[in-house]
Amino acid sequence: AQGPLSRVLVVREDEQTHLVTLHQHHIITDDWSFDVLLREWSALYEAAQDGVPPRLAALAHQYPDYARAEQEA
């Protein structure tokens, strides 16, 4: 009934130290999804720190695949 359901706060303590907090309502995520989010954020952060393009794993299924499976069920 009230938002936001997800909040991100980045606090810059100094040039090299940052704190990121993520608050999410339990209704918009589960443990598996949250684990994926953290892994991908970490990969993106490390790539940015190294100045290289991020290397994220390819998705096994795209949204159209999911939508088609739902329609066929």
Average of per-residue pLDDT values in the chain: 89
What mean pLDDT do residues 39-49 have? 92
pLDDT at 8: 93
Q: H helices within the chain, ranges in order?
A: 31-50, 63-72
Q: What is the pLDDT at residue 3?
A: 80
Kindly report the pTM of this predicted structure.
Answer: 0.64
Task: Give residue-wise pLDDT tens across range 4-28.
Answer: 899 999 999 999 898 999 988 888 8
Please report, for residues 4, 12, 59, 62, the alpha-carbon distance to residue 69 in angstroms, rounded to integers and kept in the order given: 31, 44, 16, 11
